[in-house]
Amino acid sequence: MNPQSFEISGNIVDVVNRRILQGTIRVIDGKIFEIREEKTDQDQYILPGFIDAHIHIESSMLIPSEFARIAVIHGTVGTVSDPHEIANVLGTEGVKFMISNGHKVPFKFNFGAPSCVPATSFETAGAHLGVVEVGDLLKMPEIKYLSEMMNFPGVLFKDPEVMEKIEQAKILHKPVDGHAPGLTGADLATYIRAGITTDHECFTLDEAREKIGLGMHVLIREGSAAKNFDALFSLIDEAPDMIMFCSDDKHPDDLAEGHINQVVKKAIELGCDTMNILRACTLNPVRHFNLDIGLLQVSDPADFIVVDNLQNLTILSTWIDGVKVAENGSTLIVPVPEMEPNNFNIGIISEQDLRVQHSGTQIKVMEAIDGQLVTRRLECTPRVENSEVVTDTSRDILKLAVVNRYRKAPVSIGFIKGFGLRNGAIASSVAHDSHNIVAVGVDDQSLAEAINMVVTSKGGISAVNGSTKIILPLPVAGIMTTRNGFEVAGSYHEIHRYAKQMGSQLTAPFMTLSFMALLVIPELKLSDKGLFDGNKFSIISLFDK
């Protein structure tokens, strides 16, 4: 078959006109030249490829080219990608690295200009993207939108820098992505009036309905840590033109298992309207973000997938710009060589750096919630030994540490419930948003060892339990690797499995750990500068005097 000119027949799913027709598609030079409605002996279904409407590629721990090699086997042809994570480490150069690497493979990456770097002033990041830097990025043709505006207080109080970034996007007719968990009422209306058009942080149906009622598109998220599909799927039929699907964050082992195809199949099994489901991950993101991704219309790019039927949804092949990039579960995209930019500037720490002197009657403890980014705030009586506050595994109250990776500074210490470790420690330099090192453990020796393994590798995720020490190095900005994505998925699966053997009952312990320093999500988090109250938006004391 000549990739420059070929024909493919079957049941053609036309999401634009909401119909399915038997016919033949003729492709010339990567574009759909003709669609002939005719009888065919092919019973396969041809439909537009899937689009993830909001994802941080970095959270797969893979550079874009390796992410693409896995994603295409699941029928994904494009993403709306926020390079916020690498921007917090390397600034504009990190964003350009993602664009450059993405160009090296046949896949439709659509990057945004990160709007909040650093996300807050209460943490240390590796870069700052101000009005000038964001404006320069927005002018690039590869930049399709202004990435999620997490600083919703800045929008509400009309912070000049925040409003100028939004205005620059509006002038260039590029949409503004939102991030407003729990925002309701008059504040929500103010946020939307500023020009913000999407939100992927809804975790209740009422919240999503209110946002849709005010004209905001809601992205139903089903990622490795945050899973909101079960709460929101009824919106697929209730407000079909306002819904898109996203994963937000997808760890490598989960990506190897599936992507947006899993959400599609789940919605079909629940009885949602098939055309509404498919439009949510094809037509709706293409129209909203003005993406150059085909929808099986004449003159469109030949971006499509072939499946066995619309129930099993087995991906037989994936095509991008008329090139077959995956077939029967195997990727046809070849790996590409890549450099490994980094930004790690600290030495090893000692157990002494992790000690906490007792100085109050109660301590504030954050509680991790499985499948959610939000945490609960608890007040607990601490366990004290030798005038120091220590972990208490009988109550699942463990020590949490955040280490500044960009410069030498005191280690920030807090306490957390919900991880369930019975021994050892885990650590990660994948720690949203600033990607300092975050670690949780039952004793200071294990914590220090887990942290120092990450420091020595200049990035990675680690697990320590006595003499057993495991690390997955992440030398690209301390958050990604250039290694083969399928191999990384296997390595991540092993370290994930080991963390579970250490006692964690969380579905995704490393993914959950990565969000414990994410200050813009309430209720209580830990930054390298101290314990943070997400409701008051301020650093607070660990102790209640």
From CA 286, how far away is CA 144, in angstroms rounded? Answer: 11
From CA 523, how far away is CA 494, in angstroms rounded? Answer: 31
pLDDT, residue 545, reads 64
From CA 310, how far away is CA 264, in angstroms rounded? Answer: 10
From CA 268, how far away is CA 250, in angstroms rounded? Answer: 22
Q: What is the pLDDT along the chain (545 residues), one digit of tens a residue?
A: 445 799 999 999 999 999 999 999 999 999 999 999 999 999 999 999 999 999 999 999 999 999 999 999 999 999 999 999 999 999 999 999 999 999 999 999 999 999 999 988 899 999 999 999 999 999 999 999 999 998 888 999 999 999 999 999 999 999 999 999 889 999 999 999 999 999 999 989 999 999 999 999 999 999 987 889 999 999 999 999 999 999 999 999 999 999 999 999 999 999 999 999 999 999 999 999 999 999 999 999 999 999 999 999 999 999 999 999 999 999 999 999 999 999 999 999 999 999 999 988 899 999 999 978 889 999 999 999 999 999 999 999 999 999 999 999 999 999 999 999 999 999 999 998 899 999 999 999 999 999 999 999 999 999 999 999 999 999 999 999 999 999 999 999 999 999 999 999 998 899 899 999 999 888 999 999 999 998 888 999 999 86
Residues 501/482, Cβ–Cβ less than 8 Å? no
pTM of the predicted structure, to 2 decimals: 0.92
Question: Residues near 252 by Cβ (< 8 Å), separated by ≥ 6?
Answer: 60, 61, 62, 70, 485, 488, 489, 492
Residues 147-158, buried b or exposed e (16+ Cβ, 10 A)?
A: bbbbbbebbbee
Cis bond before residue 433 (omega within 30° of 0): yes
Residue with tokens 């002494």: 352
Residue 220: strand, helix, or coil: strand
Residues 83/51, Cβ–Cβ less than 8 Å? no
Nearest Cα residue to 375 out of 194, 161, 520, 206: 520
pLDDT, residue 3, reads 54
Which helix (DSSP H) or strand (DSSP E) does residue 319 occupy?
strand 315-320
Listing DSSP states for 354-405 in one string gives G--B--SSEEEEEEE-TT-S-EEEEEEPPEEETTEEE-BGGGTEEEEEEE-S
CA 41: distance to chain centroid?
A: 41
From CA 518, how far away is CA 520, in angstroms rounded? Answer: 6
Residues 296/265, Cβ–Cβ less than 8 Å? no
Fold of 49-292: TIM Barrel (3.20.20)
Residues 300/31, Cβ–Cβ less than 8 Å? yes
Task: Map out the domains of the chain as residue ranges.
Answer: 49-292, 351-544
Between vectors from CA 170 to CA 165 and to CA 172, what angle results, nearest 5°? 100
Residue type, position 299, single letter: S
